[in-house]
Every structure is written in C-alpha cells, then in structure tokens.
Structure 1
Amino acid sequence: MDDYPLLNLFLTMLFLFLWVLWFFLLFKVVTDLFRDHSLNGWAKAGWLILVILLPYIGVFVYLIVRGRSMGERDTKQIKESEAAFRQYVRQAAATEDGAGGSSHVNDLARLAELKDKGHISQEEYEKAKAKLLA
C-alpha cells in the first residue's frame, strides 16, 4: 500500500465509476433501441452494430442523435405505467366495494347465503362473521 499513493487510488476509483457509468449507458441505449417502435428493423440493426463495433463512439453518437426522443420515450412509459397503476387501483377498489357498498356488507351477505344454503354451519358462520366485524 505504500507504493500506491492516495491520488492513484482516487483516479482508480474515478475510472471504475466511469466504466460502470458507461456500461449503464450502453444497456440503456440497447434497451431504448428495442423499445422504440418508430425505428424499423434495419435502423435498429444499424444502431446495434454501431454500438457493438464502436462502443464508446456508438453510445455517444446515439445519445447525441436520439437523446431527446429517448427521454420522451422514458417519460411516456412512466406516464403509461402510472395510468395503468391508477386504473388497477380503481378496479380493485370497485371490486372491493361492489356496487358502491361496503365490502363488509357484501361479505356478510355472502356468508349468510352460504349458511342458508347449508354450505357452512352456524358455528362457522359466527366465527367468520366475528372475524369480518373485528
């Protein structure tokens, strides 16, 4: 450790960080290529060949040429994911509430129906009812 100065350690860590950052950019570019529906297959293949054969130059050229649309696609995907999540929550809440009523009321009605049909005993009905009302 005596023959490896602190500045060299700092530079090594900096180069390692830049190397990891470059890999992150490389994977981001490749996934963006396959996610972009506006490019045809030949354009995607051309960009992929450029990125593989000349990795540093290819990634930087891609970021310069298509960086803005890359950000727009990311924003669009985030908005679509958020809208899908909100729709799922609305559907789950509607299923939970039924026709606007409380889920406990619906569950109690189902329990009473099961008891009336003889599928569960009075004791099972009381236990399930106590669990719902607790």
Structure 2
Amino acid sequence: MNSFWSVFLYVFWIFAFVAFLMILFTVLVDLFRDQGLSGWAKALWVIFLLFLPGLAILVYLIARGRGMAERNLARHAAVAEDDSWGQHPTPSATPASDIQQAQALLDQGVISSGEFDALRAKALGQRY
C-alpha cells in the first residue's frame, strides 16, 4: 500500500510542477507582450520571477491580471480575424445580374446604349 501512495504523490508533484511552469511561462509571455510596460519594468519583473517565482506570479496576477485578460482577448480576436480572412468571400455578382443592372440604368436614361454595350461586354468578359 505504501508503494501506491508514493507513486500517487510522485505523480501529483509532477503535475503541480508542470502546472507551475505553464503559469510561469504564461506570465513571461504576457509580460513581454505588454506594450505599455517599459523595458526596465520588464527586466525587474523577470528578476523578481527568477528569484521569487511563486510570490512574483501571485503578485503579477493580482496587480496585472485584468490587463493580462484584456491582452489575451485582443490577441485571440486578432488571431480569429486572421484565420477567418478569405473563408467567407462576399457573393460576387453574376454576369446576368450585372447586365440587368445596366439594363435598368439604360431604361432610366442614366446611361447611353453605347455605355450599356460596354457594360454588357465587360460583364461577359469580352473586349469592347
């Protein structure tokens, strides 16, 4: 029975250490992503994170947690916008609808028959 609990405790400490490293790297990435913080302030935070990592992470999350969340949301919105670019093309007009619009303009007297012929040829992809 003692062996089971020692393995369980070992797995727990490995999990806790990996979680700690993930939080530490998340704070470091956010620290360098922040445009409003000067280089000296970033250097002080890094030194603080190196010598007292647990306390530094706690202080960082309390002091700068809201800004961290806002930067994270802005980054995800920008990435989502980048990913969706070009996936939903705007519906392009068909040649028939272009010709109908040109015909309506001709009927209203806005364009001449020569201009209508040019628009029709353009819609059909012909040279005029």
Q: TM-score range by the shorter chain?
A: 0.5 to 0.7
Q: How far apart in 2 are the matches of 1:38 and 1:44?
A: 10
User: TM-score by structure 2 length?
Assistant: 0.64
Q: How far apart in 2 are the matches of 1:58 and 1:51?
A: 5
Counterpart of 2:43 in structure 1 is 45
Q: How far apart in 2 are the matches of 1:39 and 1:59?
A: 17
Structure 1 residue 23: deviation in Å?
A: 0.6
Give secondary structure in 2 for the equivalent of 1:37: coil
Percent sequence identity is: 34
Deviations along 1:38-63, one digit per CA (max 9) or x if unpaired, are 11111111111100121222122212
Runs of 4+, deviation exceeding 6 Å? none
Moved more, 53-62 or 31-40: 53-62
User: TM-score by structure 1 length?
Assistant: 0.62
Structure 2 runs not aligned, ≥5 long: 96-128
Q: How far apart in 1 are the matches of 2:49 and 2:11?
A: 25
Computed over aligned residues only, the root mean square deviation of the Cα atoms, in angstroms, reads 2.3
Q: 1:10 aligns with which of 4, 8, 13?
A: 8
Deviations along 1:56-100, one digit per CA (max 9) or x if unpaired, are 22122212211221111111111111122233435xx46xx8x64
Structure 1: which amino acid aligns with 2:72? Answer: D
Counterpart of 2:101 in structure 1 is none
Total equivalences in the alignment: 96
When Rg is computed on C-alpha atoms for both structures, the one with the higher figure is 2
Counterpart of 2:25 in structure 1 is 27
**Higher percent of residues as helix:** 1
Q: How far apart in 1 are the matches of 2:93 and 2:28?
A: 47
Structure 1: which amino acid aligns with 2:28? Answer: V
Structure 2: which amino acid aligns with 1:23? Answer: L
Structure 1 runs not aligned, ≥5 long: 103-134
